[in-house]
Chain A
Amino acid sequence: MGTSVEESRLTPAPASRPGPNFPGPFAVGTYARKLQGWMRERARVQLIGEVTGVGRSKVQAYFELRDSEGAVPCAIWLNDLEKAGLDGASLRDGAEVVISGGLDYYPGGGQASPNFCFRATHVRLAGEGDLIARLEALRKQMRAEGLFELQKQLHRPALPKAIGVVTAERGAARRDLLAGLERRGWGGSLIWGFAPVQDRHAAPAIGRALQDLAARPEVEAIVVTRGGGSLADLWAFCDETLCRTVAMLRVPVISAVGHERDSTLIDDVAAVTCSTPTHAAEAAVPLDCLAARDSLERCALALRRAGEGAVETRSRHLGALARGPARALQRERGKLNQKIREIRAASERGLADRATSQRRIGTLVLERARRRAAGADMEKRRDALHRAAVALRAHEPERTLERGYALVEGDGGEPLTSAAEAGAAERISLRFSDGRVRARPEQRDEA
């Protein structure tokens, strides 16, 4: 552009003037027209961003198109706007649009101020496809920077005492979150950080609320929630600056934005993503306080039983040990008595058996003797026996008496074998073989 503008120089600069050694000076109007031409030769492109500061003149509408990185002033002729099928209500602050056109410069005039803008020749509301493509680009970039992992590494307490919540003051999400916390039996401190959730002010306001809540030392978790909507409605939650803020917070953020099918960038950077505010309540307070109380009572009971049981069991054992010696003695005594009974019975059985055995042996011996006696020498033995009987009989007193002798007996029948005895007796008896004669001794002759 420098060389073409240089041609518009009207008068050469005095050589003697001090200052930078730049070309010129040039007449500004000519420079402005050249600048306009140069800008209009730039490539025609499409831009996507959020509309802010919409204004209108009789012939054109002007606005800024911006995102978190920067902004460009834009203008569109009203007839081009009509051709695009957009009415005044559609081109509003906060709308995500795609504009087509290129750079333009109005050089101004005697009364009019110069103006630079992106001259849009066509405009349309950004569709899901546009937003998704932009979202994916942001997602890819932030994932590569590791921003999705930071929140997920934070510790989430099971039983926070204070929870921060960022949501719309009059949204249904607020009611659902309260109901969810009530079902959990949680009654801690809930700090509301109310913020708009759907316009160009939403993302910065949500970011501020999050930072303020995270700065409070008592806050242990933060819930960000709003109801469902189109991706354009939820676009504030895809704001790059907001999501970078969330990633860097020291407090875990629980995201419950939109419905289950909606996926925003804040879901990616948050510690936990939930499909509904009710689920967000459960994620913010992982512990079911009602169930925890029941569980704690069971633990207390188990501990009491264990303590009492341990002492009781051991005292019973000790008691049993203390009674043990007496029982052992009694047991041993019983065993001993039993043994004695068994020994006695065995002894009696043994004696009887032995007697039986001896009788049997005696019988056998006698039988054997009888058999021997009944053998060949039996006659001889009988004769000897007879002779012995005869000899024995010959010595019987009766045999002597038969030969004429008499036996002197005392009064009691006792034999008197001497004259002295007979003489001393008062009465005597003379025994003959055929009878007795009583007598009284008259005189005693000395031998």
Chain B
Amino acid sequence: MDESEQDQSSATKPDSYEAAVERLEEIIDRLDSGQAGLRETLDLCKEGKELVTYCAGELDEVGEGLKELRLDDLATKLDTASEVG
């Protein structure tokens, strides 16, 4: 994989939290193996940090306290909005 391809892949947003965690575990395993060269190590660290940031953001989105909504209320709001519109 050349540098431009790697930059492109590392900048791609993961499909899901679990996909991000799976890739993160692959990266940690590769780094733990000690077989990665310096360039690969630095690239993997960069990609891993981006994944950690993404995962932390996902956790933050569900970490601010439970928000309880009622389907009836949402439907009423929707009806009102469509009438106004």
Q: Which residues of A approach B to under 8 Å, CB–CB?
A: 157-159, 161, 164, 178, 181-182, 185-194, 209, 212-213, 216, 285, 287, 289, 292-293, 296, 299-300, 302-304, 306-307, 310-311, 314
State whether A307 touches B71 (Cβ < 8 A). no
Q: Give the residues in chain B near A157, CB-CB below 8 Å.
A: 16-18
Contact with A along B54-85 (1 / 0, CB 8 A): 01101101111111111110110000000000
* Inter-chain pairs besides A287-B18, A302-B32, A310-B38, 8 sampled, C-beta below 8 Å: A186-B66, A188-B67, A189-B67, A212-B71, A293-B59, A293-B63, A299-B48, A300-B52
State whether B62 touches A186 (Cβ < 8 A). yes
State whether A190 touches B66 (Cβ < 8 A). yes
State whether A310 touches B42 (Cβ < 8 A). yes
State whether B17 touches A287 (Cβ < 8 A). yes
**Pick from A189, A212, A289: contact of B63, CB under 8 Å:** A289
CB proximity of A318 to chain B, nearest CB, Å? 11
CB proximity of A25 to chain B, nearest CB, Å? 55
State whether B28 touches A302 (Cβ < 8 A). yes
Can you name the residue of chain B whose Cβ is closest to the Cβ of A209?
B71
Q: Give the residues in chain A near B44, CB-CB below 8 Å.
A: 306
Can you name the residue of chain B whose Cβ is closest to the Cβ of A302?
B28
**Pick from A178, A181, A296: contact of B59, CB under 8 Å:** A296
Q: Give the residues in chain B near A190, CB-CB below 8 Å.
A: 66-69
Can you name the residue of chain A whose Cβ is closest to the Cβ of B45?
A307
State whether B16 touches A158 (Cβ < 8 A). yes
Q: Give the residues in chain B near A299, CB-CB below 8 Å.
A: 24, 28, 48, 52
* A161-B61, A185-B63 given; A191·B41 CB < 8 A: no
* A159-B59, A212-B75 given; A303·B70 CB < 8 A: no
State whether A192 touches B52 (Cβ < 8 A). no
Q: Give the residues in chain A near B17, CB-CB below 8 Å.
A: 157-159, 287
19 sample A-B contacts, Cβ–Cβ < 8 Å, listed by A number: A161-B62, A185-B63, A186-B66, A187-B62, A187-B63, A187-B65, A194-B70, A216-B74, A285-B62, A287-B18, A289-B63, A292-B55, A296-B55, A296-B59, A299-B24, A303-B27, A303-B45, A306-B41, A306-B45
Distance, CA A182 to CA B28, complexed state (A): 30
State whether A300 touches B16 (Cβ < 8 A). no
Question: Could you tell me how many residues of chain B have their Cβ less than 8 Å away from some Cβ of chain A?
Answer: 36
Can you name the residue of chain A whose Cβ is closest to the Cβ of B25?
A299
In B1-58, which residues have CB < 8 Å from any A CB?
16-18, 21, 24, 27-28, 31-32, 36, 38, 41-42, 44-45, 48-49, 52, 55-56, 58
3 nearest CB pairs, A to B = A307-B45, A188-B62, A310-B41
State whether B66 touches A178 (Cβ < 8 A). yes
Distance, CA A189 to CA B24, complexed state (A): 27
Distance, CA A187 to CA B55, complexed state (A): 15
Q: Give the residues in chain A near B24, CB-CB below 8 Å.
A: 299
Q: Give the residues in chain B near A181, CB-CB below 8 Å.
A: 66
Q: Give the residues in chain A near B71, CB-CB below 8 Å.
A: 164, 191-194, 209, 212-213
Q: Give the residues in chain B near A209, CB-CB below 8 Å.
A: 71
The winner among A182, A186, A303 for most chain B CB atoms within 10 A is A303
Q: Give the residues in chain A near B75, CB-CB below 8 Å.
A: 212
Distance, CA A158 to CA B21, complexed state (A): 10
Q: Give the residues in chain A near B31, CB-CB below 8 Å.
A: 302-303, 306
* A157-B16, A187-B62, A293-B59 given; A192·B70 CB < 8 A: yes
Q: Give the residues in chain B near A194, CB-CB below 8 Å.
A: 70-72
CB proximity of A224 to chain B, nearest CB, Å? 13
The winner among B24, B52, B62, B65 for most chain A CB atoms within 10 A is B62
Q: Give the residues in chain B near A188, CB-CB below 8 Å.
A: 61-62, 66-67
The winner among B41, B42, B67, B71 for most chain A CB atoms within 10 A is B71
Q: Give the residues in chain B near A296, CB-CB below 8 Å.
A: 52, 55-56, 59
Can you name the residue of chain B whose Cβ is closest to the Cβ of A285?
B62
Distance, CA A158 to CA B20, complexed state (A): 11
Q: Give the residues in chain B near A185, CB-CB below 8 Å.
A: 63
